[in-house]
Amino acid sequence: MSKKHFLLFCLLLLAFIVVSKLKAADQPWIKSLKVYSNNDEKSLPILIFNEDKQDHLRIEFDIKAPYEPSFNIVFRFCDRNWNPTKNIFYSNFGQDRAYELDFEKLPSTITDADYHFNGTFPDTRGQVSFPFSGKWRLYITDSQDTSIVYASAKFIVVRDTIAMYSSLKKESLEDKSYFPTDLSKVFNLTTSFTLPEDFFVTDLYGIEIIENHKIDYPYFVDRSGNTQNRYYNWDGNRKFSFSSKELRPGKNYRQVDLRNINLFNSKNVNAHLDGVETSRFFTEGKKDLNGASILTYYKDENADYLNVNFRLRADLDYGKKVFIVGAFSNWDVLPEYELKNDGGLYSIIINLKRGAYDYQYVTGYLENGKVSNIDWYELEGNSWSTVNNYYVFLFYSDPAKGGYDRIIGFQKVTSK
């Protein structure tokens, strides 16, 4: 290649990089997405529809964009594993998306976001409905091309459920020796019910249990066979009970509260001012939000974003990595939330909107871009004194119109 051609090539490459960066800067960025039921931002997004109750789903998020965005929100009914259904009878065509969304301009003092969306569904315009009982996903997409997805979230719809009775009792795991012995402390959750005559016994799946907001890490007790810690009983007619004897209560979550503008008065802050966190295995935590967050009201001129530095001092063996997980990650343990290790001082900086967030540290390994062998208790401990919410769902393989995973029972249980 001649010098002239090489120079031309370099100029074209530079122009391509500049244009690509400009296009990337123009792309809208969804921030602080929250999905909850009714007007309780601390709630798990579970919608109940029956004769006495008609819940609604509230969706809120900020947008960083140089211009007012044009979005759709597409809603998809899913199977028990959160895979959107391919059955046309459950596609909900005609009421599966919201369009012509209204956005509000954020105060000029907020530098890391420009617009805000706040909407409830089913909506008064009749664009959206949730006719099926089960798991749903929503996708915030480009209005012209719904294959372009900027963010997504999960929620659960419960309709016309049967009566269930669930109970918790303290037990200890006996499948092996535990050290420290606190790790053997568990709750045994048992759910009992009588299946009505209009349901087929053979199509009953089992129960799924979600702890607090850990929607992606449920316990499932099915009818495929009993184990020492997960089992079911059936009287041969219509009475069932399902039990999970492996619900470690953990500890109350850690919390960072960025709402005090006098304490957190700059863009770059430490999560706990001058303090460095340590293992809480042998200490009790303070009262928490059971995994939720409370964000500063979006119209507040101080509702900006801070670069928050989390610091943890820990000694770990076996090459384990440390990750932070919490309300800001929807309690999903992700590779991008790995803490950097500097001689036993682990740290990470996260861009967070002013508010209060529950979180904790977990250990694990990175394998093929995913976090594996997650340990929720190594750095946080385990105690029966912890107060948790457990959401119990009864799943049924409904044979109607090709079949779908239907929730036919629901109950919320709180440990005390």
Residue 129 tokens, joined: 């409905």
Alpha carbon distance 232, 207 (integer Å): 10
Closest CA to 73 of 135, 131, 119: 119
Angle at CA of residue 388, ends 383 and 394, nearest 5°:
125
Distances (CA, A) of 110 to 137, 303, 306, 332: 30, 7, 10, 27
Alpha carbon distance 211, 102 (integer Å): 34
Domains of the chain, each with CATH number or no CATH: 26-159 (2.60.40.1930), 165-250+386-414 (2.60.40), 254-375 (2.60.40)
* pTM of structure: 0.92
Alpha carbon distance 145, 99 (integer Å): 12
Residue 365 tokens, joined: 């390994």
Taking only the tens of pLDDT, the chain with its 416 residues reads 565 544 554 444 444 433 333 344 578 999 999 999 999 999 999 999 988 889 999 999 999 999 999 999 999 999 999 999 999 999 999 999 999 999 999 999 999 999 999 999 998 888 999 999 999 999 999 999 999 999 999 999 999 899 999 999 999 998 888 888 999 999 999 999 999 999 999 999 999 999 999 999 999 999 988 998 999 999 999 999 999 999 999 999 999 999 999 999 999 999 999 999 999 999 988 899 999 999 999 999 999 999 999 999 998 877 789 999 999 999 999 999 999 999 999 999 999 999 999 999 999 999 999 999 999 999 999 999 999 999 999 999 999 999 999 999 999 999 98
Q: What count of other Cβ atoms lies within 10 Å of the Cβ of residue 56?
A: 15
132 within 8 A of 156, measured Cβ to Cβ: no
Task: Give me the phi and psi of 379, to 5 degrees please.
Answer: -100, -10
Concatenate the DSSP letters of all residues of 299-366 into one string: TSTT--EEEEEEEEE----TT-EEEEEEGGGTT---GGGBPEEETTEEEEEEEEESEEEEEEEEEEEE
Closest CA to 405 of 43, 41, 84: 84
Residue 351 tokens, joined: 């861009």
The pLDDT value given to residue 245: 94
392 within 8 A of 189, measured Cβ to Cβ: yes
Alpha carbon distance 85, 135 (integer Å): 10
